Structure 1
């Protein structure tokens, strides 16, 4: 009995995810530039030719992984597009982010490796990413302004640098880094009550 169109669609989605999961496993062990399409296909249990029916190139596969990863990370910040309502809400988002880093080291390692590739600059400048980042920065700016910071734009850069820096250090050597030192510092400085 032939499969229905819906079954074919489901299989296609599952197979695509299977390939992305295999690539992510490999990327968590090696730099993506060192992993070939053939290696990814073998890890996913598909032929190289079949892989190309899902992703036209390794770059397209990497962009799909980056898109998926950024969606996952941004959901932590966006919390259903809610504004940051106060220190408790800010604390919740920072805790969710740091917990995500701790519980998803491989994902953050891949994110870090991919985002540092020059070809990702165009992706990061895409309207989707710029819209989301602009919206979130506006919410963070308004929150920090309400908290009494003289230069909220400068503080956004500092918070971002602290998060990026500790994330990179933590995914590189989680056994040697106490990520909670930076988490607690951010909360001590930026989640104080007005």
Structure 2
């Protein structure tokens, strides 16, 4: 049998990292971050504790990579041409693709949301991701303002809360809040919020 190539080793490495991250996400979400140890993560992933430490220095490193992955999945959808400016077409595409992402990977996002609402997670990472999310919110703010909103900052707050609440309801109670139906209503609602501000300004 011929020795493995560097590409094969990298593939194996990425597969092992994925196993560890998936096991950790499930345990963090179900048992809490504090109650989860590296030993339990390794056991859940079917690997040794020593091997787990070969890939991650601590469970904090695992947590940061999990949160990074979820953050960037959303962030990368917002500005596909990376020009720092949102067109209406890009904004609608972002909303549609985000809804599709949540729908197609329901279990992952259910666990992710359960993890993110834990105080220890939100407190430790809020500053980092608030800063990382600044370009995203700035683009959305500028887009809302460009559509004629009289209160783009307030509208952005309402729209952000609407999106987060929609995803949470669609994940927790999909039979009551079907995500495809919610998508239509939310996109329509977002533009009504922006346009209502424009009408008020005109009056």
Q: Shorter-chain TM-score: which interval? A: 0.7 to 0.9
RMSD: 2.7
User: Take 1:57 and 1:188, find their aligned partners in 2: how far apart are those partners?
Assistant: 44
Of 120, 123, 136, the match for 1:121 = 123
Q: By how many angstroms is 1:73 displaced?
A: 1.8
User: Take 1:164 and 1:189, find their aligned partners in 2: how far apart are those partners?
Assistant: 14
User: Take 2:25 and 2:147, find their aligned partners in 1: how far apart are those partners?
Assistant: 39
Per the normalisation by structure 1, the TM-score is 0.81
Q: Conserved in 1, the CA contact under 8 Å of 2:110 and 2:171? A: yes
Aligned residues: 190
Question: Counterpart in 1 of 2:109?
Answer: 108
Mark the CA change 1:123 to 1:81 in structure 2 (over 3 Å): closer, same or farther: farther
Q: By how many angstroms is 1:8 displaced?
A: 4.2
Q: By how many angstroms is 1:191 displaced?
A: 3.9
Question: Counterpart in 2 of 1:63?
Answer: 64
SS of residue in 2 equivalent to 1:176:
coil
Q: Conserved in 1, the CA contact under 8 Å of 2:140 and 2:156? A: yes
Greater length-normalized contact order (CA 8 Å, ≥ 6 residues apart): 1
Question: Counterpart in 1 of 2:20?
Answer: 19
Give 5+ residue unaligned stretches, structure 2: 199-203
Question: Counterpart in 1 of 2:164?
Answer: 164
Mark the CA change 1:90 to 1:125 in structure 2 (over 3 Å): closer, same or farther: same
Question: Counterpart in 2 of 1:49?
Answer: 50
SS of residue in 2 equivalent to 1:84:
coil
Per the normalisation by structure 2, the TM-score is 0.78
SS of residue in 2 equivalent to 1:119:
helix
User: Take 1:100 and 1:7, find their aligned partners in 2: how far apart are those partners?
Assistant: 29
SS of residue in 1 equivalent to 2:54:
helix
Q: By how many angstroms is 1:46 displaced?
A: 0.7
Q: By how many angstroms is 1:132 displaced?
A: 4.2
Question: Counterpart in 2 of 1:84?
Answer: 86
